[in-house]
Amino acid sequence: MIFAELPLADCENAILAHSQRAGGEMFRKGRVLSAQDIDRLRQAGLATVTVARLEAGDVAEDAAAEELAAALVAHESGLVGERAFTGRVNLHAEAGGVLVLDEAAIDAVNAIDEAITLATLPPFAALETGQMAATIKIIPYAVPRRTLDEALAAIRSGTQAPLRLHPYLPRRLALIQTELPGIKPSVLDKTERVMAARLAAMGQAAPASARCAHEIPPLRAAIDNAIAAGAGMVLVVGASAISDRRDVIPTAIVAAGGTLDHFGMPVDPGNLLLLAHIGAVPVLGLPGCARSPRPNGCDWVMQRLLAGLTVGPADIRALGIGGLLAEIPSRPQPREAPAPMPGSAKIAAIVLAAGRSSRMGRNKLLLDLDGKPILRHVVDQALAAGLADIVVVTGHQAGKVKDALADTPVRLIEARDHAEGMAASLKAGIRALDSSIDAVLVLLGDMPQVSPALMRTLMRAYNPIEGRAIVLPVAEGKRGNPVLFDRRFFTEILALDGDVGARHIIGGNAEWVAEIPAEAREIFVDVDTPEAYRRMLAERQA
């Protein structure tokens, strides 16, 4: 690959290496320069630009990343890759489970050339469906074919994929709590609720619950009953923590025919865990921290067991590095907040539905489209996209809009000053967001063809660490809707006035903007006039 500052005459079909403003237009890095682009740059007074030009045998960044992703997910890995963007492909979990890594193979991929990088979550990370597990990034704009082939060979060298998701396997679970005088029933009730929620996150139904005195004979009987009922795992939470292998809980397990595998673990909270088994059934003696919903070392052990992985004494001892679970600091002020890690961001949607529809002559959001209001299409698409929160901002005919969305799990906020323009609705939506929200996707209530897939693509592209703090779709060289904003821009949005959107915020922060290819019908077509409504109906019927 050639990387150099070249005369404009030599730059057609080359890749622009650095963003360049020319005549009020921003040419972003990574753009393949056309003849028209060259003319505009020349008219702006430029004579040279820095570009990258592929040579024979080079593989473009997106194509290289997609080849690597295909190799990584080829061996029933339980992961799926998305479409490449700026040389990056993210791999996501197809189901909830535990990530297992071949660290030597991953190291081998990363050792081949600095141009190719593979980053993953830590070994044995617990993943939810759709959560990002790894990311492939090609650093330059292209890599030589021979280098890519070396990386592919390293990935394929083993009998299994270097990254494998072990999905959770549903089991019949039993929860036994022991009681001592003075322990409140409400404490035991709360423990059942907390444990049910904890196990639900691991793909399990609520456990069968039992209570008995904190004594060896009744606890042994409770364990016997759980095993006889077909329990695939038994969890015991004692009224008093286990302090020795000869304590009540371990002794009752041995009396029931069990074997003690390991007592204690180098994880805090969670030190007093007991791992045992009766036949093939794991039995865990859980410390008091299991009554709290906060993460603890017991989660790590249960996650692996419920994903079908073997856990022995050596596995537990190995948890010591990283086993001190730090307190979570209070969230700082928005402009001081650290950028969210890729795949962990909480992204909400604001649906603007307050306008008077003056060009339509009636409320366009309530017009019928395939048997339901246009606005309902927008909201249903947003719900399917998996956003953390959806706020619908109402104003004109707020009651009718509310009725149209009566059975949807969205929050409705009325912008009483909506007549002042779009800025009022935007600000009402921003004020309604929780402080934990990292970014917001602004949707227009009269654009029913924006798909959940496009929304998810915009959300996956969001990465303020890499400079993608405003994400928007483009088609045919033009920008459309919806637009995603990082919370660092919320203050600027709250300063807007009048019937304006956030276009000038986008224009004034070009270095933070990421453009995502999209279909024109999704990002440009609104229902603003009777003619537009008739066209959309005709297209649907065609």
Q: Is residue 331 in some structural domain?
A: no
Q: Are residues 377 and 496 in the same domain?
A: yes
Q: Tell me the percentage of the chain whose pLDDT exceeds 90.
A: 76
27 plus 85 within the same structural domain = no
Residue 170 tokens read as 């549903």
Tell me how far apart the alpha carbons of residues 219 and 375 are, in angstroms, rounded to a whole number: 57
> 72: domain range?
59-167
Q: Are strands 233-237 and 173-179 parallel, antiparallel or unpaired?
A: parallel
In a domain, 326, yes or no: no
Q: Is 535 helix (H, G, I), strand (E, B) or coil?
A: helix
Do 445 and 459 fall within a single domain?
yes
Instruction: Convert the pLDDT of each residue in 28-81 to its tens digit.
Output: 888 999 999 999 999 999 999 999 999 999 999 999 999 999 999 987 899 999
Quote the CA–CA distance of 383 and 351 in Å, as a whole number.
Answer: 11
Percent of the chain clearing pLDDT 70 (strictly above): 96
Sign, CA dihedral 318-235-237-167, equals positive
Q: How far apart are CA 430 and CA 417, in angstroms?
A: 15
Give bridge partners of residue 90 from the DSSP assignment: 135
Is a pLDDT exceeding 60 seen at residue 327?
A: no
pLDDT at 542: 67
Q: Mean pLDDT, to the nearest integer, of 298-306?
A: 98
- 534 within a domain of the structure (yes/no): yes
Contact 439, 462 (CB under 8 A): yes
What is the rounded average pLDDT of the residues 365-371? 92
- 378 and 507 within one domain: yes
In a domain, residue 329? The reply is no
Q: Are residues 189 and 310 in the same domain?
A: yes
pLDDT value, residue 376: 96
Tell me: do 303 and 350 sit in the same domain. Answer: no
Nearest of 446, 450, 448 to residue 528 by alpha carbon: 446
CB count within 10 Å of CB 506 equals: 18
Residue 343 pLDDT grade (very low, low, confident, very high; cuts 50, 70, 90): low
Domain count, the chain: 4
DSSP, res 73: T
- CATH code of the domain in which 300 resides: 3.40.980.10
Kindly report the backbone phi and psi dihedral angles of residue 417, in degrees, each rounded to the nearest multiple of 5, phi listed first.
-100, 25
Q: Determine which of 95-104, 288-297, 306-315, 442-451 has the lowest per-residue pLDDT on average.
A: 288-297
Each residue of 246-285: pLDDT tens digit? Answer: 999 999 999 999 999 999 999 999 999 999 999 999 999 9
Give 359's pLDDT tier (boundaries 50, 70, 90): confident
Q: Can you give the pLDDT at residue 337?
A: 43
Q: Which token pair is 370? A: 């395939």
Residue 147 in 3-state DSSP? Answer: helix
Of 6-10, 291-295, 446-450, 478-482, which gets the smallest average pLDDT?
291-295
Q: Helices in 73-139 by DSSP H: which ranges?
A: 103-112
Band (pLDDT 50/70/90 cuts) for residue 336 is very low
pLDDT of residue 3 exceeding 80, the answer is: yes
208 and 82 in a common domain: no
- Residues 99, 300 contacting (CB under 8 angstroms): no
- In sequence order, the 6+-apart residues with CB closer than 8 A to the CB of 46 are 8, 20, 22
In the predicted model, is pLDDT for residue 329 greater than 60?
A: no
Q: What would the pLDDT profile of 409-426 be if each residue is shown by its tens digit?
A: 999 999 988 888 889 999
pTM for this one?
0.69
For residue 333, pLDDT over 90 is answered with no
Do 431 and 531 lie in one domain? The reply is: yes
